[in-house]
A = this chain, B = another copy of it.
Amino acid sequence: MPTVQACAHPEQDARVRAVFDDIRATRKTDFINNMWRYLAFDPELLEQTWREVKEVMATPSQLDPMVKEMLYVAVSITNGCGYCVHSHTAAAKARGMTPAQHAELLRIVALAGKTNQLALGLQVPVDAAFDADASPR
C-alpha cells in the first residue's frame, strides 16, 4: 500500500517515458518494477534516481556486478527495507548469485548484525591502530 498514487498511464509523460525506455534498454527486459512506477509521481525525482542507480550499479567499475548487488542487499536488510531486499536479491540472483552464495551473504550480514550489537553494548574504544590519519603517508 503506497503513499502516492501510481499513475494510470505514466508513459504519457515524456520524461517518464524516456526513463522507462532507458531502464528497458539498459536491463534488456520489458519489466519495470514498482519502484520506478511510483517514483514517476515526480518525473524529476525519477530521472535523478534512475541516473544515479544506472551510473553506480549498471556501469562497469572496480567491483563485480553481483558483489555490488550483494552490498546493496546488505544495507537494505540492515535498514529494514523489504522492498529493496527483494529487488536487489532478485538482481543479485540475475547476476549469478547461487543459493550457497545467498546463504553465505545472509550468514555474514547476520554475524555483522550480531557483533555490531556486542561492540555497541561494550562501547569498545577504537584501537589507535585503526586511525587512518596516523598512518604513514
Contact = CB atoms under 8 A, between A and B. Distances in A.
Interface of A: 1-6, 8, 31, 33-35, 38-39, 41-42, 44-45, 48-49, 52-53, 56-57, 61-64, 67-68, 70-90, 98-127, 129-133, 135, 137
A64 B64 CA distance: 11
- Copy total for this chain: 6
B132 A121 contact: no
Tell me the interface secondary structure of chain A in the complex: helix
Contacts of A90: 3, 129-130
A98 to B, nearest CB: 7
Tell which of A73, A83, A110, A135 has the most Cβ of chain B within 10 Å: A110
Contact of A111 (B3, B57, B83, B130): B57
A110 B104 contact: no
A76 B48 CA distance: 22
